[in-house]
Amino acid sequence: MPEVAGARRRTTATLLAAQVLGSLGIGAAPSVGVLLAESVAGSETWAGIARAATTVGAALLALPLASLAARHGRARSLALGWSLAAAGAGLLVLAAVTVSVPLLVLGMLGMGGGAATQLQARFAATDLAEPDRRARSLALVVWVGTLGAVAGPNLGVPGAPVEAWAGLPPLAGAFAIGGVLLAVTAVVVRVGLRPDPLLLAQRHVAAAAAVGPRLAPGRAGLSEALGLVRASPPARLALLSLVLAHVSMVSVMTMTPVHLSHEGGTITFIGLTISLHVLGMFAFAPVVGAAADRYGQVPVIIAGQGVLAAAAVVGATGAGSPTVVAVALTLLGLGWSVVTVPASALLSESVPAPARPLVQGLGDTAMNAAAALGAIASGPLMALLGFPVLAALAGLVVVPVLWQLRRRTAVAG
C-alpha cells in the first residue's frame, strides 16, 4: 500500500541517520569510558563495574522502552532512550571534573539507555518490512551504525581540543561531544518517525486478534511474553543465542582496554582496537542478513558459534601481543554479528505479531542483564586469572547453544 511504502522509506531514512549519530555518541563508552573509570576509581575492578553499569542500564531500560513503544509507538520510546544517554554523557563529564565515582556510575547507567535504544532500533526496522526481507532490513540498521560506532571509540582524539578549550580534565571531552550528538539523535527520531512505524503496522494488521494476543505492558505482559518464548523452540534457541553471544562479547570487550593499557598500548591503539571490534560487529551485517534470509537463520547462527570459538582461541593464545588481541577482538565482534542478526530475526518471527514488542524487549533485557553479570565478573576474573583465561571462558558460551541445537535436531528426527 502507498501509505505503508512511503512510511517504510521515511522510517528507514530516519533510523539510518539516528543510528550513525547515536552510535557515535555512545561509542566512547567501551574504550574511553573504561579508562575514565579506572582513572576516577583507581582500580581494574571499578573499571569493570563502571563498564558493567552501561550494560545494567541497558538491561533495566530495555523492557520499559519496549513497553512504551507498545503503548505509544517507536518514536517516543527511541527519543526517550537517546535523551537518557545524552544525560548520561553529561554526568560523565561532571564525574571527570569532580572525580566522583557515584556520578561515574550514574553516567554509565544513562549511557546504557543509548545501548538499549540502539538495540531496539533494529526491531523498529522490521515493523513495516516485507516478511522475506526482515533480516536484511534489521541488518541494514545494524550496519549503518558502523561509521559512528567505529569512530566513537576514538572520540578521545577530538575530545582533547575540547578539553583544552573548556578547561575539562582528560577523557571528559569525548563525552562532551557525545552528549551533543545524542541530544541531536533524540530530536531526529522524535521528528522523523512520522507516521510511527509500529503504530502504523498495528493498524494495518486487521487480523491481529486472530494472529495472537496483544500483550499488556507490565508484569502480566512480561509473564505472557516468557510463556510465548517457552512454548516456541525456535524462540528459545534465538533467545539463548542472543544472550550468550552478548555475554561473550561484553565480558571480553570490557577488560580489553585495561589489558592493552597494561601491555603498553596507547589510547590511540586502544581506540583503534575497539574500532576494529565494532567494525566486526556492524560492517558485515548486510551480508549476514542476506544469508539469513536466503539460507535460514539457524544455519547462520551455527556459523556464528564457530567464529566466537575462533575468537576465544586467538585471544587466549595470543594475549601477550596487542596485535593478536586486536585480531581476537575483531573476530569476537564478527561472531556477535553472525549470531545476533539471524537470532533477532528468528525471535521476532517465532511469536505472534502483536506480542513482538514486549518479546523483543524481553530479549534485549535478558541479553543485557546476563552481559552485565559478565562485565562485573570480568574485572575480578582478569585480576585473579589473567586475560587469557577470561578469553577462554568467553568461548565456552558456544557449548549450550550447540547442545540446544543438537537436542532440537534429535527431537525433530
Residue 201 lies in a domain: no
Question: 89 or 149: which carries more pLDDT confidence?
Answer: 89
Structure confidence at residue 327 as a pLDDT band (50, 70, 90): very high
pLDDT on residue 158: 81
Highest mean pLDDT (candidates 41-50, 255-264, 291-300, 351-360):
291-300
Q: Give CA–CA dist 8/3, Å, rounded.
A: 9
pLDDT at 401 over 90: yes
Which letter, b or e, does each residue of 19-49 get, where b requires 16 or more Cβ atoms within 10 Å of its Cβ? bbbbbbbbbbbbbbbbbbbbbbbeebbbbbb
Q: Which domain holds residue 263?
A: 2-196+210-412
Tell me 32's DSSP state: I
Q: What is the pLDDT of residues 20-49, one digit of tens each?
A: 899 888 887 766 777 787 777 776 666 667
Specify the 3-state DSSP secondary structure of 180: helix
Residue whose C-alpha cell reads 586467538 in the numeric block = 314
CATH of the domain at 220: 1.20.1250.20
pLDDT given at position 207: 40
- pLDDT score for 220: 47
The answer to whether 155 and 116 have CB atoms below 8 angstroms apart is no
Sequential DSSP letters for 5-23: HHHHHHHHHHHHHHHHHHH
- 279 domain residue, yes or no: yes
Q: Which residue has the higher pLDDT, 411 or 372?
A: 372
Average of per-residue pLDDT values in the chain: 84
Higher pLDDT, 86 or 351: 86
pLDDT tens-digit map of 181-224: 999 999 999 999 988 888 887 776 544 444 455 555 555 456 77
In angstroms, the CA 129 to CA 164 distance is 47
The residue among 134 and 114 whose pLDDT is bigger is 114
Give the per-residue pLDDT at 144: 81
Whether 280 is covered by a domain: the verdict is yes
DSSP-derived 3-state class of residue 127 = coil
| Residue type for position 310 | A
Query: Does position 411 have pLDDT exceeding 60, yes or no?
Result: no
Mean pLDDT of 221-238: 83
In a domain, 290, yes or no: yes
Written as nine digits, the cell of 179 is 552528549
Classify residue 202: in a domain, yes or no.
Answer: no
Residue 203 lies in a domain: no
Residue 205 lies in a domain: no
pLDDT range class, residue 317, cuts 50, 70, 90:
very high
For the range 187-190, what are the long-range contacts, defined as Cβ-Cβ under 8 Å and sequence gap of 24 or more? 187/79, 188/14, 188/17, 188/18, 188/21, 189/14, 189/15, 189/18, 189/74, 189/75, 189/78, 189/79, 189/82, 190/75, 190/76, 190/78, 190/79
Report residue 110's pLDDT band, with 50, 70 and 90 as the boundaries: very high
128: which DSSP letter? T
- Asked if the structure places residue 234 within a domain, the reply is yes
Contact 104, 172 (CB under 8 A): no
Lowest mean pLDDT among 172-181, 250-259, 393-402: 250-259
Tell me the pLDDT tens digit for each residue of 139-174: 888 888 777 666 776 777 787 888 888 888 888 888
Total-model pTM:
0.77
Contacts of 32 (CB under 8 A, 6+ apart): 153, 155, 156, 159, 171, 174, 175, 267, 271
Among 80, 117, 88, CA closest to 29: 88
- Residue 163 to residue 142: CA distance in whole angstroms: 31
230-240: average pLDDT: 91
Instruction: Specify the number of domains making up the chain.
Output: 1
| Cβ neighbours of residue 205 closer than 8 Å, sequence gap 6 or more | 211, 353, 354
